[in-house]
Chains A and B, each alone.
Chain A
Amino acid sequence: DAGITQSPRHKVTETGTPVTLRCHQTENHRYMYWYRQDPGHGLRLIHYSYGVKDTDKGEVSDGYSVSRSKTEDFLLTLESATSSQTSVYFCAVAIGGGLDEQFFGPGTRLTVL
């Protein structure tokens, strides 16, 4: 599992509330990613980080923000959750670019009522 943990693993929340998901890694990988996975869609990139305090948007970044204040932690925040953000969220890490493999965490299942 490349030393990746995600918390919480499951969460149910209400529309309009803020939600923060945490990804923690223990192997000092430089790159970290947040994806969402929905039925009928492939994994879609939300945001990614290429170092402490260095982040960039992915293809579905609206409604999400991220922060990376330490190498080992990458936080995903839904400022005001909506039902369309009900999904399974995966964190991934990689050493670098090129042929480098992305290692995925176990996922967080988020339900917004």
Chain B
Amino acid sequence: KNQVEQSPQSLIILEGKNCTLQCNYTVSPFSNLRWYKQDTGRGPVSLTIMTFSENTKSNGRYTATLDADTKQSSLHITASQLSDSASYICVVRPNSGNTPLVFGKGTRLSVIA
């Protein structure tokens, strides 16, 4: 069964600190992996996308990595800001026709002053 597992479930860090969120998946074969940011009360917004042949992608202070061999991805946030407080969702697109996207449950990040 296609699954995406994220850890930790929640995380609290001080403003200015770095953090890393983890995503393990069993989707195979897969087309691409995205990280979404979801602010409270809003819809998810894409941060990064990586195909199976890419192993890193940056978007400002966000850097995603992908190891297709071990089926693991991580999202590293540098110099966190209060506005980074949100849920971060790992999403994998299977490489098979109309198979739906597989969503992780998300990691809830709280950045405090």
Binding site for B on A (CB under 8 A): 1, 4, 40-45, 48, 56, 58-59, 90, 92, 97-99, 101-102, 104-107
List B21-52 residues whose CB lies under 8 Å from chain A. 31-32, 34, 41-46, 49, 51
CA distance in complex: A94, B108 (Å): 26
Question: Which residue of A43, A56, A99, A106 contacts B42 across the interface (Cβ within 8 Å)?
Answer: A106
Interface size in chain B (residues, C-beta < 8 A) = 21
B70 in the interface (beta carbon within 8 A):
no
Indicate if the CB atoms of A99 and B31 lie closer than 8 Å.
yes
A contact face: mostly helix, strand, loop, or mixed: loop
Chain B residue nearest to A105 (CB atoms) is B43
Indicate if the CB atoms of A45 and B101 lie closer than 8 Å.
yes
Question: Which residue of B32, B49, B51, B106 contacts A42 across the interface (Cβ within 8 Å)?
Answer: B106
Question: Closest CB-CB distance, A20 to chain B, in whole Å?
Answer: 20
Indicate if the CB atoms of A90 and B101 lie closer than 8 Å.
no
- Top 3 A-B residue pairs of the complex, sorted by shortest distance between their CB atoms: A104-B43, A42-B103, A43-B103
Question: Closest CB-CB distance, B68 to chain A, in whole Å?
Answer: 16
CA distance in complex: A48, B100 (Å): 9
B4 in the interface (beta carbon within 8 A):
yes
